[in-house]
Structure 1
Amino acid sequence: MSVIKRNNVVTGGEGERTIVFSHGFGCDQNMWRLVAPDFLKDFRTVLFDHVGAGKSDLRSYDPEKYATLHGYADDLVEIGIALGLREATFVGHSVSAMIGVLASLKAPEMFGTLVLVGPSPRYIDDEGYQGGFSRTDIEELLASMADNHMGWSMAMAPAIMGNPDRPELGSELTDNFCRTDPAIAKAFARVTFTSDNRDDLSRVTARTLILQCRDDIIASEAVGEYVRVRVADSKLVMLDATGHCPNLSAPAEVIAAIRDFV
């Protein structure tokens, strides 16, 4: 099966430059529908679904391959090779931020610019590092998810989205979480929340923009600053947006920040 079909790759636009949008945990490429169209006139746009999400080929899901974020990064590199990407801009939300970092290290010529939206190199607190969660927090989160995937989704999605005054946003994220295969979602959640990519940050050579939201329970302001300090040639922009999904809650802000950087 071609990587284009496997990852449900969708291209558009007319520009000479290419911009790739990559979605976060429990979502699919539809999460970029309010952002990506703005770049069609100036860029070739690329959207895709990670294996196990959206309209990707679920038969391609390999628990061993996707036991680490490197499996997802390898897919991203394969997509880049298939499309002949060089010096492209990569925009990754949440866990896809670190997937993009890993892909840029595997194929440095592929991405000249990284835009990391709500990134976190490690979610679990460590000595001298505040990821935002204790190891017990994460194990309880994963256990709750395994016990009742739908109930977990209904409770967690609105909290992750934030913006309680706009409940429709939390409902959309809940629906996305509930559509994901529970077994794949559980495995991806463990990979996401137990990964540690702190040592990878200092190896990044691409120009990097970090977009940070306020009141983000998944990736705090301290984590955003940590990424900025450790990624050379990086810039941190604090958005007025709140919650963890500004691509849905504040797309105009995200668009403006990306355009100003690229």
Structure 2
Amino acid sequence: MDILRRNNVTVTGNPEGPAVVLAHGFGCDQNMWRLTVPALTDVYRVVLFDYVGCGRSDLSAFQEDRYASVSGYAQDVVEVAEALDLRDAAFVGHSVSAMVGVLAARQAPERIGSLVMVAPSPCYIDDDGYRGGFSAADIDELLDSLESNYLGWSAAMAPTIMGTPDRPELGEELTNSFCATDPDMARVFARTTFLSDCRDDLKTVAVPTLVLESAQDVIAPREVGAYVHARIPGSTLVTLDATGHCPHLSAPEAVNQAVTAFLAGLR
């Protein structure tokens, strides 16, 4: 019960159905999945949670050393899965959570049986033969700006990340979500997100995997989706008719259709 309270775990849907875990990205919380949950609850047992430091999690449980690496967030996922005794669950992870799911599936293969990676990126920094979307200098500047003025950074970056200038209410929602996150904890999560390099972990994935990318995404360009797909054996890549890094908010129907079709194929 302490773990479920720590991560503000919510369980809804069909209690007898297969489990689906929905994991949010940086600066967000489980509310970001509200347009996906109704598409799943008739058939699936849906598990939502907030990472420690986000949403309504227990902020007193935050440990900077633990959450300074992707594996710390993966440990949260494993502990939630153990607390609920999940077996062969589908893990749907947005952005950095896609890589959290990769690590969690490796740590607890009996708990996680499939992955859905929504706008994933194993590494945001360009490298020889690899385009992550940002130079090292870009990321340094981004993190410096975030650390010096988190609220200002949030107001400037969130609409860019959302990528829907024709729907400013979505950018505003993401801005509000960022601004509601404790700045010190957000700084740790941001560094973990933008400085991690999980490319070598992709080859360890041994479960059915769906990779969902937006047609246009300034945070995770399509070269990244192609890279992830090419390095996870047997994975499926779907390019959504969507713009921005949060297609589950900007194009929920497309995301829901892809996710439910993939999950149905596993049953």
TM range (shorter): over 0.9
Which SS does the other structure have where 2:114 is aligned? strand
CA distance in 1, matches of 2:22, 2:109: 17
Which SS does the other structure have where 1:213 is aligned? strand
The letter for the 2-side match of 1:178 is C
Matched residue, 1:52: 53
- 1:15-54 to 2 correspondences below 5 Å: 15-54=16-55
- Is 1:220 the equivalent of 2:221? yes
State the Cα deviation string for residues 190-229 of structure 1 (Å, max 9, x = none): 1100000000000100100000002201101000000000
The letter for the 2-side match of 1:11 is V
Which SS does the other structure have where 2:35 is aligned? coil
Note the residue ranges of structure 1 that are not aligned, 5 or more in a row.
none
Matched residue, 1:4: 4
What do you get for the CA RMSD once the two structures are aligned? 0.8
Matched residue, 2:240: 239
Q: C-alpha displacement at 1:38, in angstroms?
A: 1.6
CA distance in 2, matches of 1:176, 1:26: 6
- Is 1:191 the equivalent of 2:192? yes
Which SS does the other structure have where 2:156 is aligned? helix
Once the two structures are aligned, what percentage of the paired residues are identical? 58
CA distance in 2, matches of 1:41, 1:184: 35
Matched residue, 1:90: 91
CA distance in 1, matches of 2:22, 2:120: 14
TM-score, structure 2 normalization: 0.97
Q: C-alpha displacement at 1:86, in angstroms?
A: 1.1
CA distance in 1, matches of 2:237, 2:195: 24
Q: C-alpha displacement at 1:16, in angstroms?
A: 2.1
Matched residue, 2:76: 75
Matched residue, 1:149: 150
Q: Which moved more, 1:192-201 or 1:14-23?
A: 14-23
Moved over 6 A (4+): none
Note the residue ranges of structure 2 that are not aligned, 5 or more in a row.
none
The number of residues matched between the two structures is 262
TM-score, structure 1 normalization: 0.99
CA distance in 2, matches of 1:252, 1:80: 27
Which SS does the other structure have where 1:188 is aligned? helix
State the Cα deviation string for residues 40-91 of structure 1 (Å, max 9, x = none): 1100000000000000000000001111010110010001111111111110
Which SS does the other structure have where 1:202 is aligned? helix
Which SS does the other structure have where 2:20 is aligned? strand
The letter for the 2-side match of 1:10 is T
Q: C-alpha displacement at 1:110, in angstroms?
A: 1.2
Matched residue, 1:105: 106
CA distance in 2, matches of 1:174, 1:16: 35
